[in-house]
């Protein structure tokens, strides 16, 4: 369970910045994945001892959830960035794929997408459930948006995009650069457009 301001223990105020702590944890989880980052390392990076860590976040998974929430609400939300500029469904989707091609190779010095890859192959059920929930919500958002113009194909096209973004994130983590991913984004955009005209 994630600690909130209302559940903070009484007594001495925190001696660390929660906002900065979540940002630091987000970068660690993004770079190495959930399982590879231990509580001791997090405590050392955040400058807090285990009792303060657990009082603030409840668990490593609690901090992970907050880090993923921070990540998904920021610049890495490629769909949100694309949608903000308006346009038709096909225009927004094409823009989203190209945003991913720019961000995934190196976002804040780290490749790939935290939401897609943060708990890949994790043995922790809670971390996997957190990521599964974010992925489900993201797919529904895409599906509902596509359905505004292409209701009959919305599910199929949403699945296509989820797979495309997952592949782009994985390729970026394996070293694919902006040029390679932009070429893929262009091809995926053409495929999306073709499917909408069937």
* 141-156 pLDDT, tens digit each: 999 999 999 999 999 9
Domains in the chain: ranges and CATH: 5-71 (1.10.10.60), 77-196 (1.10.357)
Closest CA to 103 of 178, 185, 188: 178
The pLDDT value given to residue 15 = 61
Express each pLDDT in 18-75 by its tens digit.
899 999 999 999 999 999 999 999 999 988 888 889 999 999 999 999 999 999 998 8
Chain centroid to Cα 43, Å, comes to 23
Lowest mean pLDDT among 33-47, 97-111, 124-138, 157-171: 97-111
Q: To the nearest 10°, the Cα dihedral for 149, 134, 166, 162? A: -20
Q: How far apart are CA 118 and CA 112, in angstroms?
A: 9
Statement: residue 12 has pLDDT above 50: no
The pLDDT value given to residue 4 = 39
């Amino acid at each position: 369970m994630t600690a909130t301001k209302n559940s903070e223990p009484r007594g001495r105020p925190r001696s660390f910045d929660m906002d900065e702590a979540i940002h630091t944890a987000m970068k660690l989880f993004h770079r190495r994945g959930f399982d590879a980052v231990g509580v001791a390392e997090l405590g050392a990076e955040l400058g807090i001892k285990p009792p303060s860590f657990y009082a603030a976040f409840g668990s490593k998974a609690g901090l992970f959830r907050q880090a993923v929430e921070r990540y998904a609400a920021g610049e890495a939300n490629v769909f949100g960035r694309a949608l903000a500029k308006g346009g038709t469904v096909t225009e927004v989707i094409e823009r989203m794929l190209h945003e991913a091609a720019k961000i995934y190779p190196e976002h804040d010095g780290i490749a790939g997408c935290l939401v897609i890859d943060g708990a890949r192959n994790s043995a922790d059920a809670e971390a996997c459930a957190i990521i599964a929930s974010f992925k489900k919500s993201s797919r529904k958002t895409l599906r509902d948006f596509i359905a505004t113009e292409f209701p009959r194909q919305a599910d199929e096209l949403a699945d296509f995009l989820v797979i495309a973004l997952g592949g782009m994130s994985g390729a970026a983590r394996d070293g694919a650069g902006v040029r390679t991913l932009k070429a893929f984004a262009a091809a995926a955009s053409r495929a999306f457009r073709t499917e909408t005209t069937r």
